[in-house]
Amino acid sequence: MTNAMTEPSKAPVHRFTETRLAVEDFIADEAAHLDAWDLNGWVTLFTTDCVYEVTPTGVANPFALDPDTTMFLIADDRERLEQRVIRLNKTSAHVEYPKSLTRHLYTNVRILSDNGTEVVATANCLVFRTKNRTTSHYPGTIRYVLVRDGDSFLIRSKRVALDLEALIPQGKVSIIL
């Protein structure tokens, strides 16, 4: 699987060090919300015009795909993202009742651009989900578009591309990645 987002950068290595540190702090906090199942807190990290996407498995170019012409696993706008949170907070979201244990590892953060107001960053991710005495792994890459918000950020876009040919054996994406 090759794509521009994960190729080695030609930019000077230390050009965005300060931005990178700030982004690392921010997404570590995001991961903490998710691992605590604090989805109401998590959704406040997004802009009102946000998108949260998980691309289909088994595709060669996940960062070039358009959710209007290809079926993603998840392609939420703000409204559907809020609905996803409402659903997951219910005990009738059976797949997440009782809640699974999750551990989100977001690493290898790279800053692709920073124009002062908007930062484009990528991170590797590995998310563990444990339920019914089984642990599944979700390895992948995330591309963030972050807008500065005071001394922190808001997420305008988060696209997750899984390093999977199929959801075997994961079976579903019922947690937030």
Partner 1 sequence: MKWSEPYESKYLRVDPQKRRFQISRKVYTDPQLFELEKKHLLRKSWLYFAHVSEVPKLNDFITRQVIDVTLILTRDRAGEIRAFFNTCPHRGAVICREPVGSRKSFTCPYHGWTFKNSGELQTQNAAFGYEEDFNADGNYNLHEVPRLEIRSGFIFVNFDAGAMPLSDYLGAAGDRIDMLAQHSGTGLEVIGGMQEYYIKANYKLMCENSYDGYHLEATHGSYIDYQMSRLAGVTQMKATGFGRGLDNGHACFEIDIMAGRPLAQWLPVWGETVRELIDEAKAELIERVGPERGHLISQVHRNMVIFPNSVMNDQQSIFIRSMIPISVNEMVVRAWPLGPVNEAPELRRIRIEGALSFLGPGGFATPDDVEMLELCQRGYEMGGIEWNDVSKGFSPGEETPSGEDKLMNELQMRAYWTQYDKIMSAIA
In the complex, the residues that contact partner 1 under the rule CB under 8 A are 54, 56-59, 65, 67-75, 80, 83-84, 86-87, 90, 92-95, 132, 165-174
What is the rounded radius of gyration, in angstroms, for the C-alpha atoms of the chain? 16
Nearer to partner 1, 4 or 71 (CB): 71
Nearer to partner 1, 20 or 84 (CB): 84
CB of 110 to partner 1, least distance (A): 26
CB of 62 to partner 1, least distance (A): 11
The answer to whether residues 125 and 104 touch, using CB atoms and an 8 Å cutoff, is yes
Nearer to partner 1, 28 or 167 (CB): 167
The answer to whether residues 162 and 53 touch, using CB atoms and an 8 Å cutoff, is no
DSSP 6: G
How far apart are the C-alpha atoms of 135 and 146, rounded to whole Å? 31
For 135, the token pair is 């642990």
CB of 11 to partner 1, least distance (A): 32
